[in-house]
Structure 1
Amino acid sequence: MGWGLLPPKAVEMLRAAQYDPYAGRGAELMTASFIWSDETGGVPGNLPSVRALFGYRGSLQRGEPDESLREPWDQLLAACPEWVGFRPERCSPALRDELEREYAVLAEEFTRAAAGEAQTPNRSLGQPPRTPKLPDQS
């Protein structure tokens, strides 16, 4: 399935995103990836190309690149190589275990909410839970 390219406005918004060492990070259900609060620039998460962008990065985080999601990634890498979401520590397969744990919890919350058993917060793309991380002191 072709996900299409990112619209020019989305590229512009992502380009404007600024690195924040205190950005919150959370697992995102639709893309099976970690997303940091400083990297979406307000881009709507319901665009298929945006989901593919973060989905591809999620596949890198899991150490299993999904080439079917790569087109928007390559487009943004060419147009905006300085995008905060390309930071090596955000694409690293070293995130795999943490991502799998957090994703499993999120999927369970979603399943319970869908069954009417519990309420779950709306964690849409670009709105991860606010769990500040201290900057690396090394």
Structure 2
Amino acid sequence: MTSSTQRSARGHRGDLFDPQCPTRRLLDRIGTKWTSMVIKVLAEASTEEVRFAQLQRRMPGVSQKMLSVTLRGLTRDGLVDRRVEASVPPRVYYRLTPLGLTLEEPLARIREWAEEHMAEVDRANRRSDERTTDS
């Protein structure tokens, strides 16, 4: 394998246009509001497990299906541990893995940015909408 083939197989670091770029691949996985919410809820629980129903109650608007899909992806990526207790009905528990815990800090910084700047983004949207309406 040539060095350029090796680079493209691994992805160019910081090259968001390369489908194998680590940043692009991560954003594909965690770039949803539901993922961010799951990480936050589980991080707040620290090492405690959280039941599926508790997660759903803490995340207004999430459907059972979307929460299941989100948790399945996070579990597959090694960010969340899942434990099923054999009972009727089965109890399913989740918690962040050590790797998942490392994701909370960058996501918290994104939330901070949003809290500081979303009013500006909203104003820009309104101005843009007004210009479009006036045209």
Per residue, is there more strand in 1 or in 2? 2
Larger radius of gyration: 2
| TM exceeding 0.5 | no
TM-score by length of 2: 0.32
Q: Structure with the greater relative contact order (CA < 8 A, sep ≥ 6): 1 or 2?
A: 1
TM-score by length of 1: 0.32
